Amino acid sequence: MDTADLNHITSDRLALALKSGFHRVIREQDELNRINVFPVPDGDTGTNLSLTLGAALHVFERDFEHLGSMLAALADALLDGARGNSGAILAQFFQGLSDSAGEISRFTTYTFGKALETGNEYAHDAIAEPREGTILSVIAAFAAATRHHAVELKEERFDALLPTALARLKKALAETTGQLDVLRRAGVVDAGALGFVTLIDGAVDYLLNGTVTERPALGSLEEAFSVSAGPDQDSEFRFCTECIVTGTDIDRRKLREALGQLGDSLVLAGTKRKAKIHIHVDEPEAVFRLAGEYGKVTAEKADDMHRQTHSSHDARRKFAVITDSAADIADEDMERLDIHMVPCRIHFGDHGYIDKVSITNEEFFAEVARNPLHPQTSQPAPGDFRRQFQFLASHYRDVLSVNLSAKASGTWQAAVSAVDRIDAPGKVHIVDTLNASTGEGLLAVFAAECAENGMTVEAARAALEAQIPRTKTFALVKDLKFAVRGGRVPAYVKPIADLLRITPIIRTFPDGRVTNGGFLFGRRRRIRRFAAYVVKNSVLEGPMRVSIGHALCPDDAEALADDLRRLLPEVSRLSITELGSALGVHGGPGTLLAATMPEYAPTAEAS
């Protein structure tokens, strides 16, 4: 920056400075994850800030009429991409800068100081219960130091103002260690506060010295996989829940008061036309339902903080396992093996749900039976995969994603698309299971057991690929009316099937198709004959694993389990779980599934 220009900052220079600051935060995301202990030690502050800032980088490539319009576009992009507590606060801080700047073409020290003051007010206003020792403390310190020199002392040059304000900012960061007990015990500064300081440091370095921080390559494996600073403790609430509300005149005060009754760590950022909600709760659906009273709800997400906390401190496994919610897995296996899940979306008309998070399997089938609108399911967006890949690849050298058959959905492709967009040192491996529902679940559990037994990801993937063609899934559809409602079966087929007392069977095929596999004629001994069909079409090679799924018919599931134990040569393990939406959306209540897989004993020696 030329010496003569140090009394103002233009839109172009501010954009380049902020871009450099954003890059510096992305470069330091592993360190931010490592020291993340507040409000919960889930090791994702760096990931969330990187995703937040990365979602807004495109703004810096555009041309703007003036500085105010650039900040307005930046604030809007940050709001849309905001992830986590610190990301939402940062978005609100930039909203304050934008509103203060209005339509000015450049910042003087005075207008810059006033803008920071407004940004600080907006950031604090976004938090239901502001705490000292967080990102809010360093924002306030930077704003106060800048205002003092620019407004009260009337300093007109940025080369005199910024070094002093930056020194006060770094002092405030160091002070956070003593302001929160959890930081003092861990001996670290607040991760969100360090993220803000890193951003400002990068921006100031460009403005004063012309130093450009390029978008970084992947971080150091040595640093990225070191143990996180925080203790392995549980949060009072389970889900980090976020959504965007779009309306015409959102009463943010009333919305914040209502949300405050549902959980903690509430951040409400945005404007009267668009608000971003971040809150920790046990029931995400309650958040989305409340938000719907104030406008249209989009970008719903709910991350399981308990599972993230466990992963951020788990040094035993060489890789993490993640699947999509089309996989039906018993809850005890999900918890025991620390399997992560990317949920698909379910819509009944205009009302949307996050599969297995804001609606349970039981609630789903009850709604299918009650609601005249047939549900529509949609695959997770690449961004949903990217967010979880980013987190896991920041804590593990490898991540194994075990996904729904590409022949049945675009889920596998969404996962593949997400891999190229992550900035983390770990490597993500995508596997098409050529399967669905309980069969996909068996394969995900198998992969997680490989991790539990100390196998490398290469050995585990080879074992998984060997198990895929040996894993079969079969579904018995009790009533065709739901398949007719969904358009999967022509309407004329149901009365014919009812007349002939035909019960269709859906199954997976070796090429990944999930389609009709035959019929049972007559209704007598329906479950026993289905069990015989399953055994006849399974790969019988020694002891068998069996997973049964049911849609509101637990007695039928138990009967099927008894028949399969009797008919199979040997059952090494059998689990029963509620059926999810992947196949259940076509079969409806009463649908019964069975998946089989020959036993395989993964060992550390196999790696």
Non-local (6+) Cβ contacts of 246 within 8 A are: 273, 274, 295, 296, 298
Q: Is residue 278 a contact partner of residue 84, using CB atoms and an 8 Å limit?
A: yes
Q: Is 551 left (phi over 0), alpha (psi -120 to 50) or beta?
A: beta
Non-local (6+) Cβ contacts of 433 within 8 A are: 402, 403, 404, 405, 439, 440, 443, 444, 468, 471
pLDDT(159) > 50:
yes
* Nearest alpha carbon to residue 334 among 424, 441, 232: 441
pLDDT(225) > 50:
no
pLDDT digits (tens, 9 = 90+) for 261-271: 999 989 999 98
| Cα dist from 578 to 318, 556, 582, 588, whole Å | 30, 12, 12, 12
| Cα dist from 228 to 151, 194, 231, 400, whole Å | 42, 16, 8, 22
Integer Cα distance of 377 and 584 in angstroms = 11
Non-local (6+) Cβ contacts of 148 within 8 A are: none
pLDDT(283) > 80:
yes
SS3 39: coil
The token pair that represents 460 in the structure block:
């585990």
Range name among 364-373, 503-512, 596-605 with the lowest pLDDT average: 596-605
Integer Cα distance of 364 and 368 in angstroms = 6
Q: Is residue 476 a contact partner of residue 526, using CB atoms and an 8 Å limit?
A: yes
Q: Is 315 exposed, middle or buried (0-12, 13-18, 19+ CB in 10 A)?
A: exposed
pLDDT(181) > 60:
yes
Range name among 74-83, 107-116, 487-496, 557-566 with the lowest pLDDT average: 487-496
What mean pLDDT value characterizes the chain?
90
Integer Cα distance of 365 and 266 in angstroms = 32
* Nearest alpha carbon to residue 587 among 443, 474, 452, 471: 474
Question: Who has greater pLDDT, 455 or 310?
Answer: 455
Tell me what the mean pLDDT of segment 125-129 comes to: 86
SS3 122: helix
pLDDT digits (tens, 9 = 90+) for 63-78: 998 999 999 999 999 9
Please report the pLDDT score of residue 595 as a whole number: 98
Please report the pLDDT score of residue 311 as a whole number: 61
User: How is 384-448 classified by DSSP, letter by letter?
Assistant: HHHHHHHHHHTT-SEEEEEE--TTT-SHHHHHHHHHTT--SSSEEEEEE-S--HHHHHHHHHHHH
User: How is 252-298 classified by DSSP, letter by letter?
Assistant: HHHHHHHHTTT-EEEEEEE-SSEEEEEEEES-HHHHHHHHTTTSEEE
Q: Is residue 137 a contact partner of residue 276, using CB atoms and an 8 Å limit?
A: no
pLDDT digits (tens, 9 = 90+) for 522-579: 888 999 999 999 999 999 999 999 999 999 999 999 999 999 999 999 999 999 999 9
The token pair that represents 184 in the structure block:
């003092």
